[in-house]
Chains A and B, each alone.
Chain A
Amino acid sequence: GQQVMQIPQYQHVQEGEDFTTYCNSSTTLSNIQWYKQRPGGHPVFLIQLVKSGEVKKQKRLTFQFGEAKKNSSLHITATQTTDVGTYFCAGPANYGQNFVFGPGTRLSVLP
């Protein structure tokens, strides 16, 4: 079935450093969504990307969708301790309904 992969699996950064997680698919994606799950919490929707080459910003977060629509990235500038959590990308499942989550990148931020 449809799969999306994410790297890295874990990232430890010092507060104030930047962070990037990458999401890759072997097939073209119609769209991609990003979710954040805090430790002990539940996934929370961050953003959706639909267009080839699309770039969206949310304060210190920058999301990109690749030109071929097979990859995406999430970049956080000047991380803060509130950024701690697991970041999941999610791409459409093969049958067109719903989507499948990537394995996630777990970010820890050292103060």
Chain B
Amino acid sequence: DTEVTQTPKHLVMGMTNKKSLKCEQHMGHRAMYWYKQKAKKPPELMFVYSYEKLSINESVPSRFSPECPNSSLLNLHLHALQPEDSALYLCASSTGTSAYNEQFFGPGTRLTVL
């Protein structure tokens, strides 16, 4: 199985809601990532998990809270988001965090904050 899955595909939430994005991979990868992608822009790294521990947080606001319950799962908890947080949220995984490792991306969750 060489697939990264993400749920939900689409999410609309108000600024006071709490929601979670989910990501799963069964390739045995030990590095997992969250990216944010605005329209016509490249993916922008948010968080990196290595062996289920947070290794990189790219100065992301605390209204985004990542969680890695096990080596196959990655969550992104959302609370009190702003309309400018509307974007495509991509999860990716790789065998390790080295820049030499190919990243496998999921299909993304398209988030709209009202």
- Known contacts being A98-B45, A102-B42, A106-B40, is A42 close to B106, with CB within 8 Å? yes
Contact present for A99 and B99 (CB under 8 Å): yes
Contact with B along A4-37 (1 / 0, CB 8 A): 0000000000000000000000000011010000
Q: Is B81 an interface residue (CB 8 A)?
A: no
A97-B55 contact given A42-B90, A45-B102, A102-B42, CB 8 Å threshold: yes
Query: What is the size category of the interface that chain A forms with chain B?
Result: 20 to 34
Interface of chain B residues 69 through 114 with chain A (CB within 8 A): 90, 97-100, 102-108
Q: Which residues of B contact A88 (CB under 8 A)?
A: 42-43
How many of B's residues come within 8 Å of A, CB to CB? 23
B104 to chain A: closest residue by CB: A45
**Partner-B contacts on A (CB < 8 A):** 30-31, 33, 41-45, 48, 50, 88, 91-93, 95-104, 106
A103 and B41 within 8 A (CB): yes
Contacts of A106 in B (CB 8 A): 40
- Measured CB to CB, the nearest residue on chain B to A92 is B99
